[in-house]
Amino acid sequence: MYSSLLASTTLVVWKALESYGLDSATLFKRAGLDPAQVENPQARYPYSAVRKLWELAIQESGDPCFALIAAQQWHPSNFHALGYAWLASHSLKEAMERLIRYFRVVTTDPEDLSLLEHDKEYEFVIDTSSVVYRGLDAEYDLLLALVLDACRLAKGDDFRSKRVCLQRPPPSCAERYEAFFGCPVEFDAPGYRMFFDKSSLDQSLPTGNAEIARANDQVILTYLSQLNRSDTVMRVKVALIERLPSSMVSKEDVADVLNMSSRTLLRKLHDEDTSFKQLLDETRRELAEEYIKNPEVSIGEITYLLGFSEPSNFTRAFKRWTGRAPISFRRSHGARL
């Protein structure tokens, strides 16, 4: 299996190497990576070469905590539209759910990410059991550190997690991990996990903007559909988002956009364990929860944007999705009516 990584994500390694006074371009070439592609937002690197880059970076820097330095070099643009969608999310919980949903932007061999809800806390989990090519310990350290630093970008530098679990032996610089995360860090843990107070993830973000978040979601979906043309589910969702405001979208409409018969479309969706009806409902729900948080978009406009014929039809669907009426849901998220 060929596995690729979004090239711009390795800019954090490039900048970290420079902070040690190392020649980033030379090390990229040694790893088999074209330095000219690192700032190309569409480019992707083979994961085998990126892994070699990490090995060289840790070796040449002489720093077992290299991942913590790299995590502080990130910029939202390093992660395609996903970085900007994170900042525009209504809350950190919603931002993490976006990361989980669209992680394939970063890698074509994605780890299973999840956000588990407990009585008083959320648990962000990286499950490596499903990947073909497991990353280095430092790469998973980086992912958790990036998630925390992205939270700090949205909420402030004093943002902290409650505790962190790392599936790796303690490095010689273990105390720097606790200093970075600002909480107890458990090494040799059963898996990679980070815990947060519920309130810290549920609070509205000052950078939240449902319209911008939704626009970036569409950019992500379009990119993913082009990245993997065999991913019928992703291509259908892109077609639905583009066509919902214009009319009631049928499977025949979407099949025509994808240059296939409706019978072929249904067969392909069945092979991917879903259906057209399920994808239509799922896409409408995701869009509805974004639009409802924007006080500038009326219920009537949302009805139109989602392709419903009447506001009452949208209201019934929204209650089925969330258990709440649209106006009640909007009030609970602090939006003006």
The residues spanned by each domain of the chain are 4-202, 229-332
Rg, the chain, Cα only: 21
CATH for the stretch 4-202: 3.90.1520.10
Q: What is the DSSP letter of 136?
A: P
Residue 182 reports pLDDT greater than 70: yes
CB within 8 Å of 187: residues ≥ 6 apart: 166, 168, 169, 170, 174
Tell me the Ramachandran region of residue 328: left when phi exceeds 0, alpha when psi lies from -120 to 50, beta otherwise: alpha
Joined together, the tokens standing for residue 320 give 């089925």
CATH superfamily of 229-332: Homeodomain-like (1.10.10.60)
CA distances from 140 to 70, 71, 72, 125 (A): 12, 11, 15, 11
Sign, CA torsion 260/262/267/269: positive
Q: Is the pTM of this model over 0.85?
A: no
Lowest mean pLDDT among 77-81, 233-237, 276-280: 233-237
Q: Helix, strand, or coil here: 81?
A: helix
257-304 pLDDT per residue, tens: 888 898 998 988 888 788 899 888 988 888 887 788 777 778 888 888
